[in-house]
Amino acid sequence: MQVLLLNPSSTDTYQSVGVTLPPLGLLYIAAAVRHRGHDVQVVDQSVDNRTIDYMPFDVVGIHSDTTRFYKAMKLARQAKAAGTKVVMGGPHPCFSVTEVLESGVVDAIVRGEGEKSFPDLLDAWEKGTNPSSIPGLILRTSDGNVDTGERQRILDIDSLPFPARDLLDLSLYTKAHLGHRSLASIHTSRGCPYRCRFCSSSRFDGTRWRARSSESVLAELEHLVRDMGYGAVAFLDDNFAGSPERVHEICDGILKKNLDVHWWCFCRVDTIVRHSDMIRHMAEAGAYSVFVGVETPVSSVLNHLHKGIDANQAREAIDILKRNGLEIWASYILGAPNETRRDLRSTIRFACELDSDIAQFTLLTPYPGTDLFDELKERNLESDWSKYDAVHAVYKHQHISRFEMQLWLIRAYMSFYFRHRKSTRNFFRFLLNRLKISHNAQP
């Protein structure tokens, strides 16, 4: 079958600091589809605004998160009008099934991982057989929606082919840099056992952490550096350091192979505190920047979010990262349901105290698929999904109006970035990157 995979344009967390990266999830799907013998093309509208001719394709697959849902549905309507079958995947369709399928323009939703379910669906449609026995799908039929049930998570991640990066024009991503080096991205694990109440990862990818072997990671890393010429890599795993032993193996491999690479990853503050030797090894092996979710120093808020950390751990983790010379990107959440104005002030003061290189402040956003969405759905939730971008207040807080919450977000950024000369320089770098992105995102 002739298959087109689409990634709607977006302005997300990575783009907010000047980074636009290829859609690895779709490229994994593309590799699996191609391996099954189907012809596949990929268009990433974050960098490619060409007019799409849907006529040559039998099936169009569209990825969607919540913020980009309306853009994804616009693409779905265009594809359906051209006579193709339309499949959607990603966190928003999986947790908003009725809304998607009642539109009448989407034939199926792939739940969670799609490397097996989507090619199976293509095979069934090509053969003219009923796909209702294929697990991991929700189908729109003349008799109503059919949920085929959960599919077992892919345990052997090493068995998957590398993302089909060759299907994209990678020259369109030249603005992605880390420390003045061209930046590629890589996924090395799936699943998260921590169940933070503001995050849907545990429901979407499962609570069991499933990791690629260090040998597999190093093989892809060497390919990116030696064969493709990248000087930096972003590890995009929710839980890159789920196994500190594996991180040590990856660091050993980087050093033994003499790979000249800078890299960036997410890491929990409690993991950093328990494994300071791992951070030292990471720095020796080219780690450049680490993203940490501090969120707030207020214990009652951290407990409500089910974050599983405390303020002292955050302080110690930041200190460990600083001692090892790593750039620190700290993230904070404002506007949790039980938060007070005093708590908001504490979070802003704490961010200034920790003095990370970058501070990211977001407004708590109850995305579909999260525990907080279930808790807050009766609290006058915003109905415009495009505002679920973590900078708009989207629910009615019990203490603070939406307008005031927006002011707290502005106050947080001004307090952090205008407190001394170095932080002000960082702010203008941050702002310049935002302006570049806004310009590049115009149709």
Domains with residue ranges and CATH for the chain: 2-147 (3.40.50.280), 176-440 (3.20.20.70)
Residue of higher predicted confidence among 421 and 46: 46
Instruction: Flag whether pLDDT at 406 surpasses 60.
Output: yes
pLDDT of residue 166: 96
pLDDT of residue 438: 31
| Percentage of the chain exceeding pLDDT 90 | 84
304: left (phi over 0), alpha (psi -120 to 50) or beta: alpha
Output the furthest CA–CA distance in the chain (Å, rounded): 66
Which pLDDT tens digit goes with each residue over 12-26? Answer: 544 444 468 999 999
Give all strands of the β-sheet with 262-266 in edge-to-edge order: 177-178, 181-186, 232-235, 262-266, 287-295, 327-334, 358-363
Instruction: Give the pairing of strands 232-235 and 181-186.
Output: parallel
- Angle (CA) 64-69-70 rounded to 5° is 140
pLDDT of residue 176: 80
Which pLDDT tens digit goes with each residue over 331-386? Answer: 999 999 999 999 999 999 999 999 999 999 999 999 999 999 999 988 878 999 99
Q: Number of C-alpha atoms within 13 angstroms, CB side, residue 167?
A: 25
CA–CA distance, 61 with 72 (Å, rounded to integer): 10
The amino acid that residue 180 corresponds to is H
pLDDT of residue 13: 47
Band of residue 440 on the pLDDT scale cut at 50, 70, 90: very low
Backbone angles phi, psi at 63, to 5 degrees: -90, 145
Band of residue 431 on the pLDDT scale cut at 50, 70, 90: low
pLDDT of residue 10: 74
Instruction: Flag whether pLDDT at 312 surpasses 50.
Output: yes
pLDDT of residue 69: 96
Which pLDDT tens digit goes with each residue over 231-286? Answer: 999 999 999 999 999 999 999 999 999 999 999 999 999 999 999 999 999 999 99
Which pLDDT tens digit goes with each residue over 118-174? Answer: 999 999 999 999 999 999 999 999 889 999 999 999 999 999 999 999 999 999 887
CB-neighbour burial class of residue 256 (10 A; exposed 0-12, middle 13-18, buried 19+): exposed
Cβ–Cβ under 8 Å, residues 18 and 433: yes
pLDDT of residue 428: 64
Cβ–Cβ under 8 Å, residues 248 and 271: no
pLDDT of residue 59: 98
Band of residue 442 on the pLDDT scale cut at 50, 70, 90: very low
Residues 6+ apart with CB under 8 A from 32: 114, 115, 116, 118, 119, 160, 161
What's the per-residue H, E or C state across 100-155? HHCCCCCCEEECCCCCCHHHHHHHHHHHCCCHHHCCCEEEEECCEEEECCCCCCCC
Average pLDDT over residues 72-83: 97
